[in-house]
Structures are given as C-alpha cells and as structure tokens.
Amino acid sequence: MNRIWDEAFKELGLSPAHAYLLRLVLASPGISHKAIASELKLEKSTITRFVDSLQEKGLVQRSKLGAEDNREQRVFPTDKAKSMKEALEATCDALYRRMCGNLGEAEMKALVARLRKTARLLS
C-alpha cells in the first residue's frame, strides 16, 4: 500500500503524509498545529516538520494565534496550494477507487474500520 500511495502523490511532489496534511489545511484554513496533530494522530513535533516542509514548497503559511501567545500558530494554504486542490482530491479519489477495486468496497471499509479501532485501542 505504501508503494502505491508514494507513487500516486509523487506526481504532485508530495509524500502521502504531506498530502493528507495539506488536504486538512485546505479543508480547514487557519487550523492549529495542535488540531492537525490530533486529527492525524501524530506528535506536534512531527507536524511542525511537515508544516516546515510544506512551507518551504510554498504550499502553506503560518500566522500566530495571538499577540500574547507565540507558541501556537495557525496554518493557512497559499494560492499555490489552492490551485493544487483539485488534483490532490482527484488523486485521493483515484487511490480510494483503486483500493476498493483491489480489495472490494466492503473489505476496504472493514479494513479502515479495523485500523481506526486499532489506533484507538493503542492510544
């Protein structure tokens, strides 16, 4: 699965993890690092590295949460990221269809449910 996902997102110049973070930022402009970490089930330090990478590519920008709190920042998509949104969503949709085609839709949904349950049990 990793190879398939890596190949698909490589066309967009992203890793799967970066692509999903970018999708989240596009869906929720101004999202905090903490909210991203919670949604993606990753450590804040990992999110910081991912956001740094996306910022270097010109896909996101940061803004401080408030004048009194320099620790928490909001993440916004750039115009470049917004112009990629359609291609990003099409890639995700194609991957989902491919997985459903290979596994069957019922098995794909069951796999996702099992993975989510496992993640909950381990956290």
Cα–Cα dist 42/40, whole Å? 6
- pLDDT above 70 (res 99): yes
Render pLDDT for 20-73 as a digit per residue (tens, 0 to 9): 999 999 999 999 999 999 998 888 899 999 999 999 999 999 987 665 566 678
Mean pLDDT of 81-107: 93
Look up the pTM and report it: 0.83
How many beta carbons lie within 10 A of that of residue 60, not counting itself?
25
User: What does pLDDT average to over the chain?
Assistant: 90
The domain segmentation of the chain, as residue ranges, is 2-122
Whether the CB-CB separation of 6 and 16 falls below 8 Å is answered with yes
CATH (residue range 2-122): 1.10.10.10
